[in-house]
A and B are shown apart, each in its own frame.
Chain A
């Protein structure tokens, strides 16, 4: 079958789990012998430095009119995607999965406030300087993107439409209207996850209209399904739970450092430094751990609107000597960061799924995850804490660092566990949903 997918990001320019998930499932769906037309927002023409060799646009046998997209080049040339079955269709837009209204407006004003990293700011500057006609605010841009992307539906033949999260809801609904084909809305995060109780009502309404207009909703966890039912009043029978997986690329193992205990042990937080990810709880736990184990290094990798406050808090607690901020990491840097870590902590306040612990496990790093995450539903060999229970988080961090038998046991069993969390299986379930809707 042919799938029209409104997705996000391709390697190596991933800003979070949404891109990772889109990439993993798309590859697995094409591997199953289905065709995917992948539509994504893209700022064109920017040449960014990457760790992977780029090939010229002329070499890319894809039917896109804007083929200089470096993101897609990389995915295709690295052999990760069967490009015979994949059509990439970038749409001009500055949208990115985790953009907030505030950031968008800042971008429009060409201001670099430190919220977006320097590289990104330069990119947007270029973009805004060279193009025009973008929405005056984020919502307007999302609507505009929906119109343009949805219009793609008239250019291709396909059997099913698959959209990911609120920013692609308009595109999905428009494509459904134009084609009459069934729409699957895949929910990776809700406005309630991103913003807690202080939700943006407009975004909530977009999510709700997407859920009501879709023929089926895929939730990345039971946790998210329940929230969709209770917060959006959606019939649970219209929701299928399909847990995410992780791409198991053997090459990643070359980064593994067999003797991690050479220097100081490293405890890692890697994710957006935003309310949703609970970075503040990580810092409070670190302070408690350092009181009894002063020789540990804590690393906070990523960027986000809470970063300035977090830097301040670390200074306030006097943890600077043992606490590092790396800024936004990409590609090989992420892999090396995982490989150099002795423990990964995901203290998310509300995490619909959470792919990053699975990635950490690929590098033989034990993980502590918050009970308020979807991934907890499929992981047995992870330590679990309530995100707010800083004492218990510290207790478990110490336990992993202090009891080698515990560390070894978790790593050994995680290795087995992760083998069974594959995109092939998740993609199979997604295709089952497609089939269900087509008959």
Chain B
């Protein structure tokens, strides 16, 4: 019984405001809340609401046979709660169908695992609690920011009690092997590893509306045929993609919603095929082999490594500056400062500093609010400068300073936690 596993990543970063060197010591609200709200509204209208409605209808229509999984970053959940509770409600509605699994990740969509295993665990726990509270599910499945993965991460996930972990079915880890089976991470005894079938996933996520693609236009029948063919040999076809594929990366006009609406029928037509969530696959299937991944991989760019976030000196300097503050931030015990520090860890801030200009650079540019990676770096470092000054004031125990800090960090009329 080949399984088909749809998993959608749902994330919006907290974009930072333009922060000049002259703002240091004067401005302590780092987020560009107007922009964040505008983007969230746009994506909600174009993607989240119509896509959630479509998924809900599909689940109802197929009476439990259509099943999907999501991972919503904590940083997105915060924004939805503040600006778009209606979208959050529609996700809750999906949760209530019992056909939707919610995964865990780092709350702040961060790269903490690479810099601090302790911080990583804290952020995962925060996310776990939040998902439990919002959707009433205790997650069994873990996915790391941007599908970053290696043996050590798998071991950490197993330690934390997860039963299943997702990552990219990168050629360099698979070699001749197929992504369409359940594997076991090297060194793990219980954890199951599910790998993204990037060809079939990207046929929808990247190529769906590409007129230069020889397979354009992608019809439901053609795609169902490919899946059925893959299912003749493989046991599980993992279709993992950004949720924004629906209506945002692929506009509604491309027919992406119609495509998705009709896909489950076509896929289920072939006897033996069924939709499964990661948790169900992990319970259902045994690993065919163990997979050794000593080096970090990710789902980004052609290299499938960390260079999109840590590939140049700017990115390494920014992340080092950020994580060097861990000890001070944690020991100072100020929840607000801790939250801001964590918001600054969102991997997107580093992604904006990427200088891989060619080929992949196009994708980077599309998602980048800055005109150049240098602007992203300067902005981030200016904010880090102010943040560390605020931190120093807080730690210096000077009552005047503490008052100043408190007032200035909360003097805007934004909800708590968003004066980042």
Binding site for B on A (CB under 8 A): 288, 292, 380-381, 383-384, 391-392, 394-396, 398-399, 402-403, 405-406, 408-410, 413
- Are A395 and B22 neighbours in the complex by a CB distance under 8 Å? yes
- Are A392 and B20 neighbours in the complex by a CB distance under 8 Å? yes
- Are B20 and A395 neighbours in the complex by a CB distance under 8 Å? yes
- Are A399 and B312 neighbours in the complex by a CB distance under 8 Å? no
Best-surrounded residue of B21, B313, B375 (most CB of chain A within 10 A): B21
- Are A413 and B355 neighbours in the complex by a CB distance under 8 Å? yes
Complex-state Cα separation, A183 to B381, whole angstroms = 52
**B377 at the A interface (CB under 8 A):** yes
- Are A399 and B382 neighbours in the complex by a CB distance under 8 Å? yes
Shortest Cβ gap from B88 to chain A (Å): 37
Complex-state Cα separation, A119 to B197, whole angstroms = 74
B306-338 vs A, CB cutoff 8 Å, 1 = contact: the mask equals: 000000111001000000000000000000000
| Inter-chain contacts of B20 with A (CB < 8 A) | 391-392, 394-395
B364-387 vs A, CB cutoff 8 Å, 1 = contact: the mask equals: 000000011011011001100000
- Are B313 and A408 neighbours in the complex by a CB distance under 8 Å? yes
Complex-state Cα separation, A402 to B381, whole angstroms = 10
A-B contact pairs, 29 of them (CB 8 A): A288-B22, A381-B374, A383-B372, A383-B374, A384-B372, A391-B20, A391-B22, A392-B20, A394-B20, A394-B22, A395-B22, A395-B378, A395-B382, A396-B378, A399-B21, A399-B381, A402-B21, A403-B317, A403-B377, A403-B381, A405-B313, A405-B317, A406-B374, A406-B381, A408-B313, A409-B314, A409-B374, A410-B374, A413-B355
Complex-state Cα separation, A408 to B20, whole angstroms = 21
Q: How large is the interface on B (under 10, 10 to 19, 20 to 34, 35 or more residues)?
A: 10 to 19
Known contacts being A403-B378, A406-B374, is A395 close to B312, with CB within 8 Å? no
Best-surrounded residue of B357, B371, B378 (most CB of chain A within 10 A): B378
Shortest Cβ gap from A281 to chain B (Å): 16
| Inter-chain contacts of B22 with A (CB < 8 A) | 288, 292, 391, 394-395
Known contacts being A394-B22, A395-B20, is A406 close to B378, with CB within 8 Å? yes
Shortest Cβ gap from A416 to chain B (Å): 11
B172-216 vs A, CB cutoff 8 Å, 1 = contact: the mask equals: 000000000000000000000000000000000000000000000
Complex-state Cα separation, A243 to B198, whole angstroms = 41
Main secondary structure of the interface of B (DSSP, over half): helix
Chain A residue with the shortest CB-CB distance to B377: A406
Shortest Cβ gap from B352 to chain A (Å): 14
- Are B382 and A405 neighbours in the complex by a CB distance under 8 Å? no
| Inter-chain contacts of B378 with A (CB < 8 A) | 395-396, 399, 403, 406
- Extra contacts, 19 of them, besides A292-B21, A406-B374, A410-B374 (Cβ < 8 A), are A292-B22, A380-B372, A383-B374, A383-B375, A384-B371, A384-B372, A394-B20, A394-B22, A395-B20, A395-B382, A396-B378, A399-B21, A399-B382, A403-B378, A405-B317, A406-B378, A408-B313, A409-B355, A409-B374
B282-298 vs A, CB cutoff 8 Å, 1 = contact: the mask equals: 00000000000000000
Shortest Cβ gap from A366 to chain B (Å): 10
- Are B314 and A405 neighbours in the complex by a CB distance under 8 Å? yes
Complex-state Cα separation, A406 to B381, whole angstroms = 10
Known contacts being A405-B317, A409-B313, A409-B314, is A395 close to B371, with CB within 8 Å? no
| Inter-chain contacts of A406 with B (CB < 8 A) | 314, 374, 377-378, 381
Complex-state Cα separation, A94 to B317, whole angstroms = 55
Complex-state Cα separation, A432 to B321, whole angstroms = 51
Complex-state Cα separation, A396 to B382, whole angstroms = 11
Chain A residue with the shortest CB-CB distance to B24: A292
Chain A residue with the shortest CB-CB distance to B372: A384
Shortest Cβ gap from A127 to chain B (Å): 48
| Inter-chain contacts of A381 with B (CB < 8 A) | 374
Complex-state Cα separation, A381 to B312, whole angstroms = 13
| Inter-chain contacts of A392 with B (CB < 8 A) | 20
Complex-state Cα separation, A380 to B21, whole angstroms = 23
| Inter-chain contacts of B312 with A (CB < 8 A) | 409
Chain B residue with the shortest CB-CB distance to A293: B21
